[in-house]
Amino acid sequence: MERLQKFIAESGYTSRRKAEELITQGKVKINDKVVTELGTKVSGKEKIFVEGKLLTKEEKEYYLLNKPRGVITSVSDNRNRKTVIDIINSKKRIYPVGRLDYDTTGVLLLTNDGEFSNILMHPNNKIDKVYVAKINGIIKGEEINKLKNGVEIDGLKTKKCKVKLKRTDLKNNTSYVSLTIHEGRNHQVKKMFESIGFKVLKLKRERVGIFTLKGLASGEFRKLTPKEVAIIYSFNDNK
């Protein structure tokens, strides 16, 4: 027996957190009966419907993509722009883990495993997300310390993080700064710099947990190894 939200996540339909929302919203049925209790357990033999669709467990796929600029981090786009799904073109119903902005490049994971996605995204698991930002202006130590200790964006203070000045370009009046965060709030890195008076000119995510861009040119991708998937599952504190 396993929790209903875990079953939904493992079906590849969505993440566990999103599955919990769907359950409480009354959008999940077990054998045609609406279920709203998060503690509900299932054996897997039941007919489980989410938003009217019958769930079936499918073979899991896991990809690491070096996302290029000008590509949408989404499964589809109503403006017919190229998406990360178009690049991989899997026959499975994969989706991106988290988001990277249209103009942001770097590490992006895609899967149809909702539990895997939830582990990577949950801040309690403290999985590093390492970004390198090119910003306008020359950043000072005092401003770096502000970022390290947390700044207020959208009315909430960010968690403490690691910040390292990689280099400055006095001629072009720019700085290159590395940030390591565990959160994944909307446009977080850009807003963090904006809060201390800097604009992000370029942004690249260089690492997520154990995953780097080694061996992948822009727009290239590869499948994860079973060992890599197992390592991510070892981070799960929500079993």
Token pair 């009315």 is found at 155
State the pairing for strand pair 41-42/48-50. Answer: unpaired
CA distance readout (Å), 180 to 69, 75, 79, 96, 165: 21, 27, 33, 20, 12
SS (H, E, C) 174-220: EEEEEEEECCCCCCHHHHHHHHCCCCEEEEEEEEECCEECCCCCCCC
Q: Tell me the helices (H) and strands (E) count for the chain, helix number first.
A: 7, 17
Please, what is the end-to-end C-alpha distance for the chain in angstroms? 13
Q: How many CB atoms lie within 10 A of CB 149?
A: 13
Does the annotation count 237 as an active-site position?
no
Query: What is the rounded CA–CA span in Å between residue 51 and residue 155?
Result: 33
Q: Which of 86, 101, 103, 169 is catalytic?
A: 101
Residue 198's nearest CA partner among 128, 146, 129 is 146
Query: What is the rounded CA–CA span in Å between residue 39 and residue 182?
Result: 28
Catalytic residues: 101
